[in-house]
Amino acid sequence: MIKITNLEKFYRTEEVETIALNKLSMHVDTGEFVAIMGPSGCGKSTLLNILGMLDDPDEGSYVFNDIEVAHFNERKRADLRKHNIGFVFQSFNLIDELTVFENVELPLIYTGVPTGERVKRVEEVLDKMQIMHRRNHYPQQLSGGQQQRVAIARAVVNKPKLILADEPTGNLDSSNGNDVMELLTDLNEQGTTIIMVTHSEHDARYSHRIIRLLDGQTVMENIMI
């Protein structure tokens, strides 16, 4: 599904040039659950942003579903992204002004799903995440675990092929964290590819494979069986 080769990304300020990704190569197959680990500043988030087509690489190739996307313009990337990729963030990133239902509905609006279909799909996914009873609440009325469920619901409502999760349990206690990891595992078992950045060895054990980064390069891969 994903094949990146010699990927490079620099951050420049006036004085220094920082290398975030240094000739990084890796691949992820369809249906895999991959965890990316490494110390702060090793390039995990940069990699995730590029994989999520929120950012573009300076050098190298990024093939997504047999399409070279490294040099796609903003509009094409956005188009590919909204149909194929769902995001889960550490800080949930729900919109405070919208209700649970409206937050989850948002990706469907942007992909142009008709109203009737939208209601059906949102209800379906809220049901699955067991937060249907909270559909008219605002994010600040929910606990962290509930907020992350909403965020996951929002990520999967469009039935994406790939979910990118950036420390999804970072803001949660261990019990809520485990719930979230179970949810992700379920999704993976139903066929969704998942790439997750995490600091937690515990969470990483839910994945099939761990890629460890240091200074923008892959230093080790562990296969978890």
Q: Which residues make up the interface to another protein (CB under 8 A)?
A: 45, 49, 52, 54-55, 75, 78-79, 81-82, 87, 89-91, 93-97, 106-107, 110-111, 140, 154
Supply the minimum distance, in Å, between the C-beta of residue 75 and another protein: 8
Task: Please say whether the beta carbons of 75 and 85 come within 8 A.
Answer: no
Q: Which of 149, 153, 193 is nearest to 172 (CA)?
A: 149
Q: Do β-strands 59-64 and 2-12 pair in parallel, antiparallel, or remain unpaired?
A: antiparallel
Closest to another protein by CB, 122 or 210:
122
Decide whether 59 or 79 has the Cβ nearer to another protein. Answer: 79
Distance CA 202, CA 169 (A): 11
Smallest distance from another protein to CB 80, Å: 10
Q: How near is the Cβ of 14 to another protein at its closest, in Å?
A: 18
State which residue, 31 or 106, has the beta carbon closest to another protein. Answer: 106
Q: Where are the alpha helices (DSSP H) in 61-112?
A: 74-84, 100-110
Nearer to another protein, 47 or 210 (CB): 47
| Nearest-approach distance from CB 89 to another protein, in angstroms | 7
70 contacts 61 by C-beta, under 8 angstroms: yes
Spatial distance between the Cα atoms of 222 and 211, rounded to a whole number of angstroms: 7
The nearer residue to another protein, 110 or 219, going by C-beta atoms, is: 110
Residue 203 backbone phi and psi in degrees, to 5: -65, -40
Least distance between another protein and beta carbon 222 (Å): 28
